[in-house]
Amino acid sequence: MRLRRAARRFMTVLSLSWSLPGTAGAQGGTIDQRIDDLLSRMTLDEKVGQLVQYSGFTEDRAAAIREGRIGSLLNVVGAEHANRVQRIAVEESRLGIPLLFGLDVIHGYRTIFPIPLATASSWDPALVTSIEAIAAREARASGVHWTFAPMIDVARDPRWGRITEGAGEDPYLGAAMAAARVRGFQGDNVAAPDRILACLKHYVAYGAAVAGRDYNSVDLSERALREIYLPPYKAGVDAGAATLMSAFNLLNGVPATANTFTINRILRGEWGFDGFIVSDWNSIGELISHGYAADAREAARLAMEATIDMDMMGDVYAGQLADLVRANVVPEAAVDSSVRRVLRAKFSLGLFDNPYADPSTETAVILRDDHVAAARDAARKSMVLLKNEGGLLPLSRAVRSIALIGPLANDRDDLLGSWHAMGRAEDVVTVLAGVRGRAGGTTTVTHAPGATVTEMEREGFAQAVAIARNADVAIVVVGEREFETGEAASRASLDLPGVQQQLIEAVHATGTPVVAVLMSGRPFAIPWLAEHVPAILQAWHPGSQGGNAVADVLWGDFNPSGKLAVSFPRSVGQVPIYYNRDVTGRPPTAEKFTSKYLDLPNTPLFPFGHGLSYTTFEYGDLVLSGDTIAADGTISVSATVTNTGDVAGAEVVQLYIRDLVASVVRPVKELKGFTRVSLEPGERQTVQFTLGPRELGLYNQGMEWAVEPGVFRVWVGWSSEEGLEGSFIVRGP
């Protein structure tokens, strides 16, 4: 069998040297010429094969790869394993077209960084680019060519488990993070041995799932779609993202995976995106479950109409597409276009010339020292100091004994967060290890879990209370398990799970000052903690270096600078809650007939953009470059920020606007700029922002982008609720 294949290959070499398996398309000429050449030699079944993706490698799949019936596999990792599988495609298939290996590299490959919601809280696009570059380096060395990331779905609902994977509630911050992540994964040249293709997902509006229930439907105005949910995608496309994934959800009655309005018209038409689109896992098949397609044949046709180029784990294209072409239902030209897009991605990666990963590079780069150091740095830059009464943090030198309590204090797995690729618990530095390491010989650290994350058992309380009583400070690490976040992990309650709050109450009752460290993939509603616990650090799921990063912040070796990328509600009943809400005709007042709750204020517990530091910053000198501008003009807004405290620190300065009167009612505030400044004690810096048509416009009733005349208010501040305020006028024509 082997021999026969070898002989056949030899004959091919004699007759058509350029089609030698393993060197398919590897001749000179432009990529387009090479693609044309390949396409001209592909059978219809081989073309369809390029559009088919399965998860994992099995012997059955080996036969399909050999026959050119698979174009991509996900979840095939490890240089040697990936090479073994690749060899089948390159050396044993008729045309030798390499496979594309994809994986969910969401926040690191083996070195695990904080969850994306956390790194978005750094408000530091350069940091985010640098960690995605590390993720790309490790992944590519392990044979991965393509990540299903970044997930850039705007999410205003912390019940939705996948809020952990995105950049939170704001389109402007979300757009900055989307572009930063794409740049990090892809760099300038994805053919480089340390880069991978990015995939913007899940197109589109998946984050608006009704009631925060995963896979649920979405009903949105076109304006909300364009103003809130699309900007991160536009930014990702503009940053050069090679691919995009269609979502599971319905959007206004039409499944996202067959949505010709959002895909053909907006993405391909208005934005000119010509990368390839992969479905989400069986989302083409789910057109049938949705009641949008009668059967697989119709599902395939509808998905092809929406230019979904690759079928992830659906078996729909594999089973239907060739027949549909033969029956003249789907034009072969449409299949050719999809194949072209997939082949272009493979060419851009250099796979036709270098299809294999290098195992020695893999060994050299996985968990490289600088990667691990970057994970620690990213984790501490992602943490948000929510509250710090009486300057309890950083821990004072007088602290001689620490009671480290809580179910996540000595945990490894959960610090990794959801979708942690090849991250391993054994690589994780626990909070206990980080705190013990930092405490050194002079401060004693005792530990008791007190409870588990989810169970109602209070047996461990007594021990936790006992160690708290004998300590100068109690640090309580609580939150949620990693698998309670991410896909299929929606919650109806945002209270701390299990008896964790009761555990904190019991520890608090000892009178020992309490620091709460929250590890979660979403905001929890923690009004009791906010009222009673003096210091609260939102540490998210911080990744492999989480414990060291927590210690860095607790002792003030690192001064926290994170700011919330998502509002923290007082109660699940306020959800969805977000700062850029529309104005109502009856804003809340003491009057009965106004827009409010009977039992809670409308305001969040901690607003978007909030985050404390160990130093203080004073804002002053708000200066606008003019009082009025033309509709197509620009205005600059500047302010000074001074570090008025005793330690160096970084501040994220935020710029918000509001268009007071417009043909379409505008949100109460919209983020339109941000910048980080690092200041020594006493140091002052002037920050400057420019506002122009891109920032000041709106989608008018005709759905056109327009800057409308009138008064604009502008704030430069330290959260979405506080800042210096000014105003200017946009002149009419």
Active site residues per annotation: 280
Q: Checking phi first, is residue 22 left (phi over 0); if not, alpha (psi -120 to 50) or beta?
A: left
Evaluate the CA torsion angle 122, 124, 130, 135 in order and state its sign: positive
Task: Name the residue with tokens 């009464």.
Answer: 389
Alpha helices in 654-699 (DSSP H): 693-696
* Sheet of 535-538, strands arranged across: 384-388, 535-538, 514-519, 473-479, 401-405, 444-448
> What string marks each residue from 183 to 222 as x (binds ligand BGC by CB under 6 A) or -?
------------------x---------------------
The identity of residue 700, as a single letter, is N
Q: Cα–Cα distance between 709 and 319 in angstroms, integer?
A: 56
Site for ligand BGC in 478-497 (CB under 6 A): 487
Task: Name the residue with tokens 């989480």.
Answer: 546
Nearest distance in Å: CB 277, ligand BGC: 13
Nearest distance in Å: CB 618, ligand BGC: 44
Q: Cα–Cα distance between 167 and 151 in angstroms, integer?
A: 8
> What string marks each residue from 135 to 154 as x (binds ligand BGC by CB under 6 A) or -?
-------------x------
- Closer to ligand BGC by CB, 46 or 286: give it: 286
Nearest distance in Å: CB 263, ligand BGC: 17
Nearest distance in Å: CB 166, ligand BGC: 11
- Closer to ligand BGC by CB, 215 or 356: give it: 215
> What string marks each residue from 710 to 729 as x (binds ligand BGC by CB under 6 A) or -?
--------------------
Site for ligand BGC in 25-44 (CB under 6 A): none
Nearest distance in Å: CB 75, ligand BGC: 7
- Closer to ligand BGC by CB, 262 or 559: give it: 262
- CB 78 within 8 Å of CB 363: no
Task: Determine which residue in the list 123, 273, 281, 317 makes contact with ligand BGC, applying CB under 6 A.
Answer: 281
- CB 64 within 8 Å of CB 44: no
Which regions of 341-412 does DSSP assign to beta strands (E)?
Answer: 384-388, 401-405
Q: Cα–Cα distance between 516 and 519 in angstroms, integer?
A: 10
Site for ligand BGC in 303-332 (CB under 6 A): none
Nearest distance in Å: CB 201, ligand BGC: 6
1 contact partners, CB below 8 Å, separation of at least 6 = none
Our separate counts of H helices and E strands in the chain read: 22, 26
Other Cβ atoms closer than 10 A to 138: 25
Nearest distance in Å: CB 313, ligand BGC: 8
Q: Cα–Cα distance between 308 and 317 in angstroms, integer?
A: 10
> What string marks each residue from 443 to 472 as x (binds ligand BGC by CB under 6 A) or -?
------------------------------
Which residue number has the CB closest to ligand BGC?
Answer: 148
- Closer to ligand BGC by CB, 74 or 88: give it: 74
Nearest distance in Å: CB 309, ligand BGC: 15
Other Cβ atoms closer than 10 A to 33: 12
CA distances from 253 to 218, 219, 441, 450, 563 (A): 8, 8, 63, 48, 36
Nearest distance in Å: CB 280, ligand BGC: 5
- Closer to ligand BGC by CB, 247 or 641: give it: 247
Task: Determine which residue in the list 124, 132, 170, 280 makes contact with ligand BGC, applying CB under 6 A.
Answer: 280
Q: Cα–Cα distance between 70 and 562 in angstroms, integer?
A: 44
Q: What is the dihedral of CA 715, 717, 721, 725, to 10 degrees?
A: -30
Choose among 337, 343, 428, 334: nearest CA to 379.
Answer: 428
Binding footprint of ligand BGC, residue count (CB under 6 A) = 7
Q: Cα–Cα distance between 507 and 530 in angstroms, integer?
A: 15
> What string marks each residue from 87 to 106 as x (binds ligand BGC by CB under 6 A) or -?
-----------------x--
DSSP state of 89: H
What tokens were used for 710? Answer: 């009138």
List residues binding ligand BGC (CB under 6 A).
74, 104, 148, 201, 280-281, 487
